[in-house]
Amino acid sequence: LRELSPHRDRFAGKRVLDLGSGAGALTMEIGRAAALVLGIEPSATAVRWSRAAARAQGVSRARFEQAAVGNAS
């Protein structure tokens, strides 16, 4: 995340998809700059944690959904 912080402006105004978002730390960091970032995570527990963390940190442009992330081919 430290490496991302100086480059956050690259996401300004963009819509970003984060596949395998885990606990959502990267998703929320991007969400501080992006127009919208959607974190997709197969773990229902991680999605609940991510949503709660985003609310607590006031990151309203980060959304989290549970879905399988697999091979698209």
Over residues 1-22, the pLDDT tens digits come to 566 667 778 889 999 999 999 9
Average pLDDT, the chain: 88
Whether the pLDDT of residue 70 is over 90: the answer is no
39 is written with which tokens?
């974190």
How far is residue 33 CA from its own chain's centroid? 11
The alpha helices in the chain, defined as continuous H runs, are: 25-31, 44-57
3-state DSSP: the chain helix, strand, coil percent, rounded to 5? 40, 25, 35
User: How does pLDDT run across 18-36, given as a tens digit for each residue?
Assistant: 999 999 999 998 998 899 9
pTM of the predicted structure, to 2 decimals: 0.84
